[in-house]
Amino acid sequence: MSSNPEMPQASGIEYPRWSETLRNQRSVLIRPITAQDRDAERAFIEGLSEQARRFRFLGQLGEPSEALLERFTNVDFKHEVAFVAVVAEDAHQHIVGVSRYGTDDAGLHCECAVTVEDEWQDQGLGTLLMRHLIEVARSRGIRTMYSIDSAENTRMRDLAKFLGFHSKADPDDATQVIHELDLQAQP
What is the three-state SS of the chain?
Answer: CEEEEECCEECCEECCEEEEECCCCCEEEEEECCHHHHHHHHHHHHHCCHHHHHHHHCCCCCCCCHHHHHHHHCCCCCCEEEEEEEEEECCEEEEEEEEEEEECCCCCEEEEEEEECHHHCCCCHHHHHHHHHHHHHHHCCCCEEEEEEECCCHHHHHHHHHCCCEEEECCCCCCEEEEEEECCCCC
Q: What is the pLDDT of residue 62?
A: 66
Q: Indicate the pLDDT class of residue 65, thresholds 50, 70 and 90.
A: confident
Q: What is the pTM of this model?
A: 0.87
Does 49 score more than 70 pLDDT? yes
Q: Please calculate the CA angle 162-112-149 and round it to the nearest 5 degrees.
A: 70
How far is Cα of residue 92 from the mean position of the Cα atoms in its chain?
21
Across 95-102, average pLDDT: 96
Give pLDDT, residue 91: 78
Predicted confidence (pLDDT) per residue in 116-135, tens digit:
999 999 999 999 999 999 99
Q: What number of residues does the chain have?
A: 187
